[in-house]
Amino acid sequence: MNVGAQELNKKIEDPTRHKQVMINQCSREGITTFPEFKESYDSNYENYAVDSTLLKNLSAALKDKQITIVLGTWCGDSKLQVPHFLKIMDAAGIEPSKISYIAVDGSKHTENGLIDEMKITNVPTFIFTDKKGSEVARITEHPQESLEKDMVKLLTATPKTN
């Protein structure tokens, strides 16, 4: 995924949402300070109770993984799940450099085909990749049980052999 010289934390007027949204590659700071996203980010981050019983397993499962978060700064599920996810990552001691952020417009698109190969249907989508860049797991829109439980289950599952 080469973002080349794209502007980081770019904001556009979204034609489908009729308001300003972020698009393309973003930083954590850019997303968490974007006015519409920040409205709920601080309280959703602060009020989320991380399941600390799973942190050791989660840290081990994420050790060699990169994470891409595809989100919408306009999206209710993104406004809820991304702060929860980041609080878990902080509690697990995951290096910020292991997480990248891509914001989509109201049609779930980016510029220059940035997510064309990712098969994004809903946001947020948390994509976990191995050292080679191959996808090993994803959580789409919201967890089945909890973010912590779903990540541990998905990332520690025994690979299926044919």
Q: What is the CATH number of the domain that holds 69?
A: 3.40.30.10
Q: Is pLDDT at 160 greater than 70 in this prediction?
A: no
User: What residues make up the domain containing 107?
Assistant: 10-156
Q: How many domains does the chain have?
A: 1
Q: What is the pLDDT of residues 106-138, one digit of tens each?
A: 999 999 999 999 999 999 999 999 999 999 999
**Is 162 domain-assigned?**
no
pTM: 0.92
Between vectors from CA 121 to CA 96 and to CA 95, what angle results, nearest 5°?
5
- Condensed to tens digits (0 to 9), the pLDDT of residues 3-34 reads 445 799 999 999 888 899 999 999 999 999 99
Residue 79 in any domain: the answer is yes
143 located within any domain:
yes
Residue 3 resides in a domain: no
| Residue 44 belongs to some domain of the structure | yes
